[in-house]
Structure 1
Amino acid sequence: MNKISRKGFLKIAAAAAMSGVTAGALAACNAASGSTSTAASGSAAASGATGTYIPGTYEGTAEGISSTVKVTMTFSDSAVTDVVVDTSGETASIGAAAADELRDQLLAAGSAEIDGVSGSTITSEAVMKAAKSCYAQAKGEAVVSSVQLPTGDENDWLGTEPDIDEAAITETVDTDILIVGAGNGGMFAAAYAAANGLNFRIIEQNGNVQDTRHWYGAIDSAAAKAAGEKPFDKAKLLSEISRYASGKCDQRVVKTWINESAAMHDFMRSILEDKYGWVCDFTSGTEAAWPAENAEHNTDYLFPVEEHNYMASERESGLARNELLLQYIQELGYGVDFKTSLAKLEKNAEGRITGVIAQNMDDDHFIRYNAAKGVLLACGGYAGNPYMMQQLDPLGTSVTTACSYSPADKGYGIRAAVWAGANLDKEAAPMLFDRGIVAPGVDAGYVDSESAFGGKAFPGEIRQFNPGTQPFLKVNRNGERFANESCPYNDIVYAAAHQPGRVYAQISDANMLEDAKRFHTIGCSAGTRKNTMEGLEKTFASAEEKGCFFRADTIEELADKMGFTGAAKDTFLATVERYNELYDKQNDEDFGKPAYRLSAIRTAPFYGYWLGASLLTTEQGIAINEKGQALDTNNQPMAGLYITGDMSGSFFANNYPCLMAGVAMGRTLTFAMKAIKQMAGLE
């Protein structure tokens, strides 16, 4: 039997069409099975066997945590008579140890549907998938069931495009527009297509719509006008975004968002407000502005964006925005094809993208989706794929301690587009929040994890610790201050790349809430200053339980709890004393922090905790033009292919301008609508 490596794939054809199967939608490419029959099934079938099964022994395989799991099943004409489960390549104490129990469950169940073994979920699912293949073969439904799609590996994040035999494609769907991914971009695109009565299909890799990113930035929208806002300085905003990206963006792409985001909001408003009665929470004016002192210290480059969200209405209705958009398209007679994985894009002899081949996650059969007018990929970034993170963004990976990304963001859409000839941005642009709280002594970067995709995970157990964003005193493990703490979220974590363990400690005192209100940070970091001390105590308690948050009655006691010893402790105490001197002077002579961002550390209790980055998503994506069309490696438009969301490029570089609140989601939604307009000829 040919085993399937993570780097390659096994080319297999289905022997017979699977009847009665309805396609779901887009599912992740990392859980398909491959199998080979060892029985003389052809002769058994020819002999006219009339039992439930074709007697013989069959093998099925599927990918577990760290190996290819194999199940061998022997059938009489009416029952399973023997089962061998090989999980020897799995973690010895977990998956490998579960083999005997899984074998017993398969023998007792008389089907591939078993309970599995607690603590060995991934291995159990692989065994069930492999057993399912054995049953299919024994019933004569397939000699070989499917292709193991490549996931990349630690040396080659891209892998090789799968070569899928025509005989394995057992279903064909024809449509005008195909949307791949039911997240923020995909669902908004589907809503716009449904509102215009277009012929489209939307497919999603999971069994449900994806998480909603609530806030989005839109310029000179109806909400802004209703709030009495003056017209935005669009030229300055364009300049600031370009400057933040070190000039590496395509300013024409940025202009599409600036000029068309108001129309995007109008359409969103027509659904959420006019149809369902939701209320938009618009943030601008003083609340969205940086204090005037920033200008005195040449830090006014943090240009705020007019931010919109409907979170209060989501809480009241019990629906997230993407769930309501699903309801909206369903009411118009459309739906989402769930649980089908993107395998590859297809193109004709002229190079036009004509559709995709996808794989159904329930039974592994392949589906050809023909899209006469185009394909929109909205599949998310690659934050959940350690192969891509380590190879494409070694710096961002090295300073990250925790994660708040969607685990479905494994970069499959990016890989499919690159296989088809698309141009991937050459520089990483991670969305790093300075909120990755960890215990003392924990370094930034990946640690080994038996249960995580790729065997790697970040060590932090708390997704985001919001107070970490406040510009309090920050020191390294030597007890030294090392940067101006009044900065965008990612600046301090990048500065920590030059510090021991690539982490840092944040220190404040009993006046931290009053200090945070005076600091007046904007964007989601404002959650700290808008909180109450009672609310913050709940946040602290959760971190304390995990050994990540410390409080003390003296600075010396805090130093001990934080793990400072010897010379590092002496330096830490001297640094706190020096910081108090700078506060008294109202002049940061050491790093130039604005005076209003300084704080005294004199009143007990004193608070301290270690931080790194929390990785939210990645913004390095496929290059696009101002119409949302994918570009090839010569930066020419690829006919029939459009990109939006975190897998689209040309907008960000180096990092994400975290404090331009909502700009990434505003870009995602604007280009989602733009792509549908382009494919449908509505512009």
Structure 2
Amino acid sequence: MNKISRKGFLKIAAAAAMSGVTAGALAACNAASSSSAAPAASGAAGTYIPGTYEGTAEGISSTVKVTMTFSDSAVTDVVVDTSGETASYGAAAADQLREQLMAAGSAEIDGVSGSTITSDAVMKAAKSCYAQARGEAAVTSVQLPTGDENDWLGKEPDIDEAAITETVDTDILIVGAGNGGMGAAAYAAAHGLNFRIIEQNGNVQDTRHWVGAVDGFGAQAQGIKMDRAKLLSEISRYASGKCDQRVVKTWINESGEMIEFIRSIMEDKYGVKMVYTYGDEAKWPAENAEHNTDYMYPEIEYTYDRSSGAARNELLLDYIRELGYDVDFKTSLAKLEKDSTGRITGIIAQSTEDDHFIRYNANKGVLLACGGFPGNPYMMEQLDPLGTSVTTACSYSPADKGYGIRAAVWAGANLDKEAAPMLFDRGIVAPGVDGGYVASDSAFGGKAFPGPIRQYNPGTQPFLKVNRNGERFANESSPYNDIVYAAAHQPGRVYAQICDANVLEDAKRFHTIGCSAQTRNGGEKYFQGKVDEAVAAGTLFVCDTIEELADKLGFTGEAKDTFLATVDRYNELYDKQNDEDFGKPAYRLSAIRTAPFYGCWLGASLLTTEQGIAINDKGQALDNDNKPMPGLYVTGDMSGSFFANNYPCLMAGVAMGRTLTYAIKAIKQMGGLE
């Protein structure tokens, strides 16, 4: 984005008027198409610089665009583009909003009932147009550009000093009020440090409840001692060696202290009981060792009594407020700033309410905790084409668009070269739907995953799975992501799962762990709720015969014959209690003989991405020579050096454990606490 000061804008506009070129064209705005409308309210002659101007703002699910044409005294035309908003609400409001803007002669309009967020975005975009027409605007909303289908990174904004109207001085700046940011803020507040925390949204972000820690209070209570060397090796194996083992060791060695700090707030301060898994609930049965599938569950997964209605991030917000701190909400990262030595000195942020710019000077450092990029299709398709191709549904936060990663890369940080999506084998879809994006007018970037349900939890159970040819193609007893990656080599990159009336009895015998255990632990009520939801969505079929199920799933001709033969073969393997075809442990085989029969098509459900900015064992961001960047720390899903290929899902909670451990580590470093 080119830097344009107000003085420079007016000078160029005057020259443009003499040469017949509009100021709007010089400001890189597209001319609006003409349309008839009632005359707008007029101002005094010379109020505006004649031309066409464009403003944008974030709506409920897309970037809203307003294009306005001005004479020297009035608005002569308005085009409102809300086509990316929800069709029955925001998108339908465009004409009414246009009429209101034409009649008002300002950006202050009533809006449309039922489309509040879209209306607010239109008013915000219109304010930008008015400011440009008055020669007041240096830049517009710089946090919005996302690159395009050929350039996920885009360009760092060049913000004119005249546009920065507010300055905040602090020692420590935390960017992002999610899990990492709020954990860091709580630790800084507990130690009386001078810090500020900003968040682009109007509230703290969703709590990810499950936290993995090594030798924490739960392990101590149960007399469990982890083999730390084996754990380090296991995580490195999951990443195919593409991690920094020193970064992993910081989590291994310091996560116990981290979970005790969280416990002290949750239990001691607010009386919310912390709970954890251990023993048989935290390991696969021993039969797996016979088939070289003995995956290690190497740490204890902590959460808390969620029946209390508590959310950890909300409690941490209460905690810092009680200690005299707060979050600067609706404040978005625009760019990092550094001095002549290369040290990160702070950031320039932008208010998402009125677009004014704020300089945050951070004397001791900046911690970026802005999340990954699952909500950004430009980044997903270019940085993780494989994960994108096998995904059919999503359960990510739509706010996670990778803005923090882009800002860090602009400043010279090193982004991991290997994708690491968090994929769950629960992306249920209707027959005939392929993996990957589909066009969507209501989604950011115009693309969305097709699955109507965030996660169909029974999809993780190791039942028979077949491709569109009716063929079995893999050992179904595996970590969550293995089967969806195997489907990358199958037609449509999806697969069908088949089971019979003994589904809950089978699930108990399978004894899957982590969040997939909800199917066996939830019982009939939980399972039936999932079935009813999927049936209503047209993605699950419950049939009296296998032949009927084959038809419902869309098998025809040779594929149907193959499917029926595959079911017969699977029953034969179950009777033998020996999977001669793919080596699945016998206790994870199941018969398919008793009606009703259940069938559905599945792909991956994307939760988040773990491909982030490379860090060292202190949480410092690394540059492209893998040297620490003074003054810059990173945690959470936007930090790297820990995962590659995929997320080790059988180590439940390890990502959040890493996030909170490095949140505290960064505060210790910047605050001089170690």
Asked whether the equivalents of residues 142 and 334 of structure 2 are also in contact (C-alpha less than 8 Å), the reply is: no
Once the 2 structures are TM-superposed, how far is the Cα of residue 142 of structure 1 from its aligned partner? 2.6
Are 1:35 and 1:145, in contact at CA under 8 Å, matched by a contact in 2? no
Q: Does the 8 A contact of 1:430 with 1:619 survive in 2?
A: yes
Structure 2: how far apart are the matches of 1:53 and 1:412?
Answer: 39
Matched with 1:586 is 577
Match of 1:220 in 2: 215
Q: Structure 2 CA distance, aligned partners of 1:539 and 1:67?
A: 35
Q: Offset of 1:198 from its aligned partner?
A: 0.3
Q: Equivalent of 1:61, from 54, 60, 69?
A: 54
Q: 1:52 to 1:642 in 2, by over 3 A?
A: farther
C-alpha deviation, 1:84, in angstroms: 1.7
Q: Which amino acid aligns with 1:61?
A: E
Deviations 1:50-74 (A, max 9, x none): 9899477675422375885312356
Tell me the SS of whatever aligns to 2:453.
coil
1:266 aligns with 2:260: yes
Matches for 1:9-24 after TM superposition, within 5 Å: 9-13=1-5
Name the counterpart of 1:255.
Answer: 249
CA distance, structure 2, for counterparts of residue 407 and residue 166 of structure 1? 32
The amino acid of 1:85's aligned partner reads V
TM-score, normalised by the number of residues in structure 2: 0.90
Where does 1:229-248 land on structure 2 (aligned, <5 Å)? 229-248=223-242
Q: What SS class does the counterpart of residue 319 from structure 1 fall into?
A: coil
Paired residue secondary structure (2:320): helix
Give, in angstroms, the shift of residue 653 of structure 1. 0.5
Whether the 8 Å contact between 1:58 and 1:73 is mirrored in structure 2 is yes
Any idea what SS the aligned residue of 1:532 has? helix
Q: Tell me if 1:130 matches 2:115.
A: no
Tell me by how many angstroms 1:104 deviates: 1.6
- Counterpart of 2:269 (choices 265, 275, 291) is 275
Cα distance in 2 between the residues matched to 1:303 and 1:130? 50
**Higher alpha-carbon deviation: 589-598 or 62-71:** 62-71
Matched, 1:299 2:297: no
Match of 1:273, SS?
A: helix
Deviation at 1:449, TM superposition (A): 0.9
- Distance change >3 Å, CA 117–CA 482, structure 1 → 2: farther
Amino acid at match of 2:591: A
| 2:191 counterpart (189, 196, 209) | 196
Aligned to 2:514: 523
Post-superposition shift, 1:132?
A: 1.6
Q: 1:382 — aligned with what?
A: 373
Match of 1:20 in 2: none
How far apart are residue 286 of structure 1 and its match?
1.0
* Greater alpha carbon shift after TM alignment, 318-327 vs 422-431: 318-327
Match for residue 207 of structure 1? Answer: 202
- Partner residue in 2 for 1:625: 616
How far apart are 1:340 and its partner, in Å?
1.3
Contact map agreement 2:68 2:75 (CA 8 A) in 1: no
1:675 aligns with 666
Deviations 1:426-460 (A, max 9, x none): 10000000000000000000011112111111011
Closer, same or farther: CA 342–463 of 1 in aligned 2, 3 Å: same
Give the 5 Å matches for 1:89-128. 100-109=95-104, 111-114=106-109, 116=111, 126-128=121-123
- Over the aligned positions, Cα root-mean-square deviation in angstroms equals 2.7
Of 173, 182, 185, the residue aligned with 2:180 is 185
The answer as to whether partners of 1:60 and 1:130 remain within 8 angstroms in 2 is no
Give the deviation of 1:86 after TM superposition. Answer: 2.1
Q: Secondary structure at the match of 2:268?
A: coil
1:12 partner letter: I
Q: CA 1:604–1:222 in 2, change beyond 3 Å: closer, same or farther?
A: same
Deviations 1:127-171 (A, max 9, x none): 322322355568x79355635453111001111111111111111
> Which moves more between the two structures, 377-386 or 56-65?
56-65
1:266 and 1:449 map into 2 onto residues whose CA distance is 44
- The verdict on how the C-alpha distance between 1:111 and 1:290 changes in structure 2, with shifts beyond 3 A counting, is same
Letter in 2 for 1:101: Q
Of residues 432, 435, 449 in structure 1, which corresponds to 2:426? Answer: 435
Distance 1:57 1:130, change over 3 A: farther
What aligned pairs does 1:25-40 form with structure 2 within 5 A after superposition?
Answer: none
- Map 1:456-475 → 2, pairs under 5 A: 456-475=447-466
Q: 1:395: which partner in 2?
A: 386
What letter corresponds to residue 11 of structure 1 in structure 2? K
Residues 2-28 of structure 1: per-residue CA shift (max 9 Å, x gap): xxxxxxx35333579xxxxxxxxxxxx
Q: Is the contact between residue 399 and residue 494 of structure 1 (CA under 8 Å) also seen in structure 2?
A: yes
1:315 aligns with 307
Q: Distance in 2 between matches of 1:550 and 1:10?
A: 55
Return the alpha-carbon distance in structure 1 between the equivalents of residues 108 and 281 of structure 2: 55
Map of 1:332 onto structure 2: 323
Is 1:533 the counterpart of 2:524? The answer is yes
Q: Secondary structure of the equivalent of 1:274?
A: helix
Distance 1:275 1:121 in 2: 38
Aligned to 2:154: 159
Q: Distance in 1 between matches of 2:92 and 2:425?
A: 40
Q: Is the 8 A contact 2:430 2:538 kept in 1?
A: yes
CA–CA separation in structure 1 for the residues paired with 2:516 and 2:45: 62
Where 2:512 maps in the other structure, the secondary structure is coil
Pair 185,71 (structure 1): closer, same or farther in 2 beyond 3 Å: same
Indicate which of 59, 79, 84 corresponds to 1:86: 79
- 1:620/1:303 Cα in 2 relative to 1: closer, same or farther (>3 Å)? same
- Separation in structure 1 between the aligned mates of residue 198 and residue 531 of structure 2, nearest angstrom: 41
Answer whether contact 1:550 1:608 (CA < 8 A) is retained. yes
Provide the secondary structure at the position in 1 that maps to 2:522: coil
Output the amino acid matched with 2:627. Q
Superposed, 1:507-586 pairs within 5 Å as: 507-586=498-577
Q: Is the 8 A contact 2:457 2:516 kept in 1?
A: yes
Q: Distance in 2 between matches of 1:393 and 1:180?
A: 25
Deviations 1:395-451 (A, max 9, x none): 000000000011111111111111111111110000000000000000000011112
Gaps of 5+ in 2: 9-26, 32-41
Mapped partners of 2:132, 2:598: distance in 1 = 63
Q: CA deviation at 1:102?
A: 2.1
Secondary structure at 1:371 match in 2: strand
Tell me which of 65, 68, 71 is aligned to 1:71: 68
Distance 1:75 1:338 in 2: 37
Q: Secondary structure of the residue that 1:610 maps to in structure 2?
A: strand
User: In 2, are the aligned partners of 1:73 and 1:134 still within 8 Å (CA)?
Assistant: no
Q: Which residue of 1 aligns with 2:597?
A: 606
Q: Which residue of 2 aligns with 1:31?
A: none
Match 1:406 to one of 397, 414, 435: 397
Aligned equivalents of 1:92, 1:213: Cα separation in 2: 27
AA at the equivalent of 2:499:
S
- Unpaired runs of 5+ residues, structure 1, are 1-8, 17-33, 39-48
User: Matched residues, percent identical?
Assistant: 75
Count of residues in correspondence between the two structures: 639
| Contact 2:67–2:129 (CA under 8 A) maintained in structure 1 | no
Query: Paired residue for 1:494, among 461, 467, 485?
Result: 485
Aligned in 2, Cα 1:293/1:52: closer, same or farther, shift over 3 Å? Answer: farther
Residue 83 of structure 1 contacts residue 103 of structure 1 at CA under 8 Å; is this kept in 2?
Answer: no
Deviation at 1:223, TM superposition (A): 1.8
CA drift of 1:107 comes to 4.1
> What is the match of residue 360 of structure 2?
369
1:361, 1:52 → 2: CA distance? Answer: 31
Tell me the TM-score normalized by structure 1. Answer: 0.89
**What is the Cα deviation at residue 117 of structure 1?**
5.7
Cα distance in 1, alignment partners of residues 636 and 521 from structure 2: 30
SS for the counterpart of 2:629 is strand
C-alpha contact (below 8 Å) 1:35/1:130 kept by paired residues: no
SS at match of 1:359: strand
Hey, what's the Cα distance between the residues in 2 that align with 1:253 and 1:264?
Answer: 15
Displacement of 1:123 after TM fit?
6.8
CA distance in 1, matches of 2:81, 2:539: 37
Q: What is the alpha-carbon distance in structure 1 between the residues aligned to residue 647 and residue 397 of structure 2?
A: 17
Q: Is residue 646 from structure 1 mapped to residue 637 from structure 2 by the alignment?
A: yes
Q: Which residue of the other structure, out of 405, 418, 423, is the alignment partner of 2:409?
A: 418
- In 2: Cα distance, 1:92 partner to 1:489 partner: 33
Indicate the SS of the match to 2:533: helix
